Amino acid sequence: MTAISDPQSVAALAAEAVDNRVNLDFETEGMTLNMGPQHPATHGTLRIIARLDGEQVISAEPMCGYMHRGYEKLTEVRTYPQINALINRIDWLGSFANEVPFILAAEKLMGVEAPPRAQWIRTILFEMSRIANISLFLGDFGLQLGGMTAGFYAFRDREWVLNQIESATGGRFHPNFDRIGGLKDDLPKGWIESSHTAMDKLLAFCDELEDLLVGNEIFQARTRGIGVIPAEIALSYGLSGANLRASGVDWDLRRDNCPPGLVYDKADWKVWTHPDGDCFARTWVRLQETREAAKIVKQLLDTIPSGPVMAKVPRIIKVPEGEAYVATENPLGEMGYYVVSKGDLVPFRVKIRSASFNNISIVPWVARGAYVPDLISILGSLYFILGDIDR
Amino acid sequence: MSQLSSADTETLEEAAPAIDEAREAVLAEITARLGEGVVGSHIRPGDDLWIRVDRANWVAAAEAAKAMGYRFFDFLSAIDWLPSPFGRDMDSQEDRVVSGTPAKEPEAMVQGYAGGETRFQLLARVYSISAGMGITFKCDLPDDDLTAGTWSNVYAGANWHEREAREMFGFSFDGHPNMINLYLPADFVGHPLRKDFPLLARRVRPWPGIVDVEPMPGVADEEGEGE
């Protein structure tokens, strides 16, 4: 052990020593429970070290980094179009939504704006990514709480929206379809009609799931009053998306601070909030969000303008010097890119602000005092994608 | 490249006010609260606000912003302004000497909006939901003492972000409750997001993207768009 003089190793050893003495002031037999890195309830490789006093959690510390891919470093050696393919892999369930804020940041620095038709299709695909992402949550959360059926319905009906994304972009999970100045291609023939059908199916799925899962007595017993997060705490941790709206904060970037390039103001829709801040509220808000997303898609499909899908941009993308932060309301919450450009083919620095990173950093706070089965409810309802935490 | 954008751009530029009164007022209030602590600022009208504070006022800036209603914590990170010694193709200066290529003159260090004097700058952003505006804070850290006060007592979410900034850039944050690595193994050597940390994968294999950005034969002539 040559590294023992390294202060970090010393600190790690000291922490280990503290681990062995946990619960001394409680005078009870403490227990350290290791969940993960591979555990069915963590969907991914999130590892949680929980210290228990009987059935109660004294502390829960998420251990990140099992999927850290160093995207912020990689962006410094890749061109803007290449980064677009890379950042698809951050939140892999709503990939198209990852591309949009980055492309919008580059467009802002370049002073380019996509033509209206591209803005419409962008918004439609953005909302479809949201549906694909959240519909899986609705099924998966049921699964984690022991309701197997919901999972099958979710996987069945998510196919409808994945098929639409695939037929428009060519990729089910990683479209890489957004371009600086517009989109790669126009929509295929018959896509608008088939999208209407898909959205109808999804709206029916929401109704079905509301009866099946959200109205279920056992589900409510497992989620109501569990993992309550007050609004002020949520804000200071930077919780965003449905997690924040479930704490009663009426804030949605799509409505309140929509960056130019997306056309949410062209559709009539509603931002849902819930005052409770518990696991049930988070699920309920997401269910409503899925419905609203389907409504947005249906309205925009009817008003989609004709015209080109690509603005005139140079073939070799050089982004002028400057800094810009663009954030959008992604399925998991606020996702933003702080782009620093030096006028080169590659960005100088890209800070990726991903939603799950902030959303999951509240776990040590919210899990304290919870019971072990409730920890599953809390983790499930905060809803994270591992790639979105570790980047 | 006479016209880079569609016709809508002109109207947008007209709509944006030349002087952003709301952001000017925010800047004035922060300046009133911190006094000499504000050492630089930049406003992009209708879009964003950058404020650079000195290191002694880094935590005070967070407290002032929170008191002004900026309760939503966005992120905290840093920028290393050193021009990459490896260049775009990731060939280091030493490799160039070995292969006989003359060494490049290192580029000058140029800091971004709101200026700066040091290589490392802290970068943090907070947001006010009621005002619908965000503030991006910057703070210079001298090379010989990469230390700043912790924001985690003001914004609890800064806890993890500071842990990430510590391991990626090698900073330390005074008063932070849990200053251990977040992503990297405890015995990891180096700070990956520093510009002088080589990306080894690129050293072993040259940059594949270099093929894509060279004008392809014929295409550039036909379109007349290539550079």
Task: Examine residue A197 and state whether it is found in any structural domain, yes or no.
Answer: yes
Query: Quick check: is A20 in a domain?
Result: no
- Shortest Cα distance, chain A CAs vs residue B97, angstroms: 22
- Are A316 and B156 in contact (CB < 8 Å)? no
Cα–Cα distance for residue pair A286/A272, rounded to 1 Å? 9
pLDDT in tens, B159-172: 999 999 998 998 98
What value does the mean pLDDT take over residues B42-54?
86
Judged by CB atoms closer than 8 Å, whether chains meet at A336 and B74 is answered as: yes
Interface test with A, best of B14, B23, B51, B74 (most A CBs within 10 A): B74
Contact B202 A77 (CB under 8 A): yes
A49, amino acid identity: I
**In CATH, what number is assigned to the domain containing residue A159?**
1.10.645.10
Nearest chain B Cα distance for residue A353, angstroms = 6
Cβ of B181 within 8 Å of Cβ of A324? The answer is no
Average pLDDT over residues A124-128: 92
pTM comes to 0.82
Of residues B161, B109, B119, the one with CA closest to residue B139: B119
How far does A232 lie from chain B, in Å, by closest CA?
8
Using an 8 Å Cβ cutoff, are A387 and A92 in contact? yes
**Interface pTM (ipTM) of the complex?**
0.81
Answer yes or no: is A12 within a domain.
no
B166: phi then psi, degrees, rounded to nearest 5: -65, -50
In 3D space, the residue among A385, A387, A357 whose CA is nearest the CA of residue A134 turns out to be A385
- The nearest CA of chain B is from the CA of A380 a distance in Å of 20
Chain A residues closer than 8 Å to B7 by CB: none
**Does residue A73 fall inside a structural domain?**
no
The answer to whether the bond into A37 is cis (omega within 30° of 0) is yes
The answer to whether residue A281 scores a pLDDT higher than 80 is yes
pLDDT score recorded for residue A172: 86
Is residue A16 exposed (0-12), middle (13-18) or buried (19+ Cβ within 10 Å)? Answer: exposed
CB B191 within 8 A of CB B185: no
CB neighbour list of residue A65: distance below 8 Å, 6 or more residues apart: A390, B181, B182, B183, B184, B185
Chain A residues lying within 8 Å of B169, measured CB to CB: none
Number of residues in chain B? 227
Confidence at residue B12, expressed as pLDDT on a 0 to 100 scale: 45
Give the structural domain span for A215: 78-362
Q: Is residue A387 part of a domain?
A: no
Is B144 an 8 Å CB contact of chain A? no
- pLDDT of the residue at A194: 92
- Cα–Cα distance measured from residue B3 to residue A279, given in angstroms and rounded to the nearest whole number: 51
Average pLDDT over residues B197-205: 72
Query: Looking at the 3D structure of chain A, how many domains does it have?
Result: 1
> Predicted confidence band at A123 (pLDDT cuts at 50, 70, 90)?
very high
pLDDT-based confidence at A16, cuts 50/70/90?
A: low
User: In this structure, is residue A40 part of a structural domain?
Assistant: no
pLDDT at A272 over 60: yes
In a domain, A202, yes or no: yes
Q: What is the pLDDT of residues A23-52, one digit of tens each?
A: 445 555 677 777 766 655 556 677 888 888
